[in-house]
Amino acid sequence: MCCTGRPTKPAVRRLSRRLVPATLAELAIVCGADRAGRGDPDAPNPAAAWLEMGRDLTVSERPAKGLLTGDHLIAAGMVRGMNVGELIYYLTTQPRDRQVILEKDAEGNGYSPLADATEGLYEADSTWSGEMYPIPEDIAADLASGARKPEDEADRYDPSGWAERVVVLGR
């Protein structure tokens, strides 16, 4: 934590999430004790500005609810399930620059970096495999840009099937 200058709102929100299960209030106590123990017990607490902004943002005792929640994804068409919620919760505990690795990819490689996340339509053939199709919005964008011609029907989803909208993690 850099205590020079005034903290920004995003930095305070980010710090409050990273501190869990501790709080900004507890961090301010530790920072104040550390400063007092370094020679000047009357020196101002370097975390006071962070705590003040945390109180203004109502995150001094617990982090704010995430801006993107499972409810948002469900409203966007994703099927309700534990997988999305568990993934969101886990990812919020990780540093934003940490790479995501897939355990196995389609070529049988043991571990591969996650390269992309997109939306698709998934039609299950069985409990362990199925077919993926582009979403209608992607087809329309491709037609508008010329990347796809109207006669390209090979990967278009047949609406009479039972495909559902899913998040596709790619290698």
Question: pLDDT (tens digit, 9 = 90+) per residue, 18-75?
Answer: 887 888 888 888 888 888 888 888 888 888 888 888 888 887 776 656 666 667 766 7
- Per the domain annotation, does 62 fall within a domain? no
With 0-12 / 13-18 / 19 or more C-beta atoms within 10 angstroms meaning exposed / middle / buried, residue 121 is buried
Tell me the sheet residues that pair with 119.
167
Please tell me whether residues 163 and 104 are part of one structural domain: yes
Tell me the CB-side half-sphere exposure of residue 44, using CA atoms within 13 A.
8
Place of tokens 């995501």: 100
pLDDT in tens, 121-168: 887 776 556 778 888 888 888 888 988 877 765 555 555 556 778 777
How many domains is the chain built from?
2
- Per the domain annotation, does 16 fall within a domain? yes
> Average of pLDDT values for 87-106?
74
- Per the domain annotation, does 132 fall within a domain? yes
Place of tokens 């993934």: 87
- Per the domain annotation, does 83 fall within a domain? no
Whole-number percent of the chain with pLDDT over 70: 70
pTM: 0.39
Place of tokens 């004790």: 33
Instruction: Give residues with Cβ within 8 angstroms of 34, minimum separation 6.
Output: none
* 78 — pLDDT class (breaks 50, 70, 90): low
- Per the domain annotation, does 68 fall within a domain? no
C-alpha 8/C-alpha 18 separation (Å) is: 15
* 81 — pLDDT class (breaks 50, 70, 90): very low
- Per the domain annotation, does 79 fall within a domain? no
Contact assessment for residue 53 and residue 12, using Cβ atoms and an 8 Å cutoff: yes
- Per the domain annotation, does 63 fall within a domain? no
Tell me the sheet residues that pair with 169.
117
The secondary structure of residue 132, as a DSSP letter, is E
C-alpha 165/C-alpha 157 separation (Å) is: 11
How much is the pLDDT for 108? 64
Contact assessment for residue 16 and residue 63, using Cβ atoms and an 8 Å cutoff: yes
- Per the domain annotation, does 144 fall within a domain? yes
Please tell me whether residues 52 and 109 are part of one structural domain: no
**Can you give the residue range of the structural domain that contains 161?**
99-170
C-alpha 46/C-alpha 3 separation (Å) is: 6
